[in-house]
């Protein structure tokens, strides 16, 4: 069986993205709560004007969405036995991912 058919790639994605998310979360949390600056809309806007912060926040957004929605899909696939319900769950996860990715990207890039 190929690694694609066995799901090895998605297994590795979940593990690697989980580890990366821990580090991105710690960076994000430290920056927002322990940087010494007051946390308000102006401070967040100023931080998001820098490309490093945008890149980190975009990585955080896409890894969190991919990791979370794929995990939700796996739970749905385990518990939903009717093909129609599984398809509905897959479509929901896909549409939620696309919508949230667009919303988050527009928010981070300020467009």
Q: What is the pLDDT of residues 53-105, one digit of tens each?
A: 888 889 999 999 999 999 998 898 899 999 999 999 999 999 999 999 999 99
Token pair 């960076």 is found at 27
Q: What is the pTM of this model?
A: 0.80
Q: What is the CATH number of the domain that holds 44?
A: 1.20.1300.10
Alpha helices in the chain (DSSP H): 3-6, 8-33, 41-47, 51-79, 83-109
Output the pLDDT for position 39. 76
Domain that holds residue 29: 3-109
In total, how many domains does the chain have?
1
Output the pLDDT for position 97. 94
Q: What is the pLDDT of residues 31-49, one digit of tens each?
A: 777 877 777 888 778 888 8
Averaged pLDDT, 14-35: 87
């Amino acid at each position: 069986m190929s690694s694609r058919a066995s799901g090895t790639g998605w297994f590795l994605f979940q593990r690697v993205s989980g580890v990366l998310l821990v580090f991105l979360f710690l960076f994000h949390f430290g920056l927002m709560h322990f940087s010494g600056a007051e946390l308000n809309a102006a401070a967040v806007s100023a931080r998001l004007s820098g490309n490093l912060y945008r890149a980190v926040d975009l990585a955080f957004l896409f890894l969190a969405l991919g990791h979370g929605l794929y995990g939700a899909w796996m739970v749905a696939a385990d518990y939903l036995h009717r093909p129609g319900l599984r398809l509905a769950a897959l479509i929901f996860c896909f549409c939620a991912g696309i919508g949230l990715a667009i919303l988050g990207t527009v928010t981070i890039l300020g467009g």
